[in-house]
């Protein structure tokens, strides 16, 4: 019997604590996440839930002097946390690459976009400048940037937001990575351009067979691109499962609240959206029990005192909650 291939990403018991302020901030608190080859996983949750911190940990982009990282991160079998500086430089961009939230600040303003892509290609591959430029032009055509020859010579500020994001995608794909990390890549774009970029990402992912971790606070975007969704709250994954299963049958109170707090379809005018009461917890002073208990209508004293364990449900669906049955009755009456 042939063994199943190892996942491209295997994160176990990941913790990330920032120590630069008055008190340590526990931004990630025991994340376990596997991403299969060719799979798209969306990390969703409110701002401050630990999504981007988790994503950046995969490239070790946090300042080392002010960050404590525990647990393990393996990408394609390689121990990311054990890498030395030279190994890390070879890993970034080649095996794993990232699309940042705001390309205007991620791209260097004093070099043309084409020069930045050419430099990245030549850093990782033994090719001439002419060959790297031909690859950059091909990438611009693939991400559908109009007049690609002219745009290679453009500086970041000379491009529109949507075009910059496409250039950022081209840069991320320049060295043919196996893992693509997308940190809210459509947040700064208008709705029409968002849809175009999401469709482009999904098309490129399927064409190139990439594994993708897609960070977003927009459930609609997650549904469009993801095979599986992981919901984060206070630095923990509180629920995860196949996209359709999780959307149709949410089992964690936070997931249910996120679904009910967004407008969808032809809503009747005057109907108020359900807001999530309260605020996210202070990550420098987390409660002993469930971090969502203070905002949850089903919470009791047991929830406030006990950290919920992961409960496996069905179809690779899992959640961390002590009141799963109560949530199920309301989400699927």
pLDDT, average across residues 114-128: 94
In the chain, the DSSP E strands lie at 9-18, 25-35, 40-44, 67-75, 78-79, 96-99, 179-183, 211-216, 228-233, 236-242, 310-312, 318-320
Q: Which of 126-130, 188-192, 203-207, 312-316 has the lowest mean pLDDT?
A: 188-192
Domain-wise residue ranges, the chain: 35-59+180-265+275-331, 103-176
pLDDT, average across residues 231-252: 94
pLDDT of res. 333: 46
Q: Which CATH number fits domain 35-59+180-265+275-331: 3.40.50.620, 3.40.50.300, 3.40.630.30, 3.90.320.10?
A: 3.40.50.300
pLDDT of res. 22: 86
Provide the 10 A C-beta neighbour count for residue 105: 9
Q: Which range has the top average pLDDT, 193-197, 218-222, 274-278, 308-312? A: 308-312
pLDDT of res. 172: 94
Q: Indicate the SS3 state at residue 137.
A: helix
Instruction: Express each pLDDT in 159-211 by its tens digit.
Output: 998 899 999 999 999 999 999 999 988 876 777 888 888 889 999 999 999 99
CA distance 1 to 8: 21
Q: Rg of the chain over CA atoms, in angstroms?
A: 21
Exposure letters 31-61 (e unless 16+ CB within 10 A, then b): bbbbbbeebbbbbbbbebbbbbbbbbbbbbe
């Amino acid at each position: 019997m042939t063994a199943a291939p190892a996942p491209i990403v295997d994160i176990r018991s990941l913790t990330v604590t920032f120590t630069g302020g008055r008190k340590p901030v526990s931004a990630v608190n025991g994340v376990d996440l596997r991403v299969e080859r060719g799979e798209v996983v969306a990390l969703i949750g409110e701002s401050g839930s630990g999504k981007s911190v988790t994503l950046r940990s995969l490239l070790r982009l946090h300042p080392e002097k002010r960050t404590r990282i525990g647990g393990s991160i393996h990408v394609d079998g390689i121990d990311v946390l054990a890498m030395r500086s030279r190994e890390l430089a070879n890993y970034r961009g080649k095996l794993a690459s990232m699309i940042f939230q705001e390309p205007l600040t991620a791209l260097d303003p004093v070099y043309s976009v084409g020069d930045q892509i050419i430099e990245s290609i030549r850093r990782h591959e033994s090719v001439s400048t002419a060959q790297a430029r031909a690859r950059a032009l091909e990438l611009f055509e693939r991400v559908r940037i109009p007049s690609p020859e002219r745009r290679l010579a453009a500086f970041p500020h000379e491009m529109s937001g949507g075009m910059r994001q496409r250039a950022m995608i081209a840069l991320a794909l320049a060295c043919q990575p196996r893992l693509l990390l997308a940190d809210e890549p459509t947040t700064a774009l208008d709705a029409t351009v968002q849809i175009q970029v999401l469709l482009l990402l999904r098309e490129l992912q399927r064409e190139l067979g990439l594994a993708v971790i897609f960070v977003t606070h927009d459930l609609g975007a997650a549904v469009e691109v993801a095979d599986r969704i992981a919901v984060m709250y206070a630095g923990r994954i509180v629920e995860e499962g196949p996209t359709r299963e999780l959307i149709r049958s949410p089992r964690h109170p936070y997931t249910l609240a996120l679904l009910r707090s967004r407008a969808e379809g032809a809503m009747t005018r005057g109907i108020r959206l359900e807001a999530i009461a309260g605020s996210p917890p202070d990550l420098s002073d987390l409660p002993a029990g469930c971090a969502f208990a203070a905002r949850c209508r089903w919470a009791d004293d047991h929830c406030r005192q006990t950290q919920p364990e992961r409960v496996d449900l069905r179809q690779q669906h899992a959640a961390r909650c002590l009141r799963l049955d109560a949530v199920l009755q309301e989400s699927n009456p």
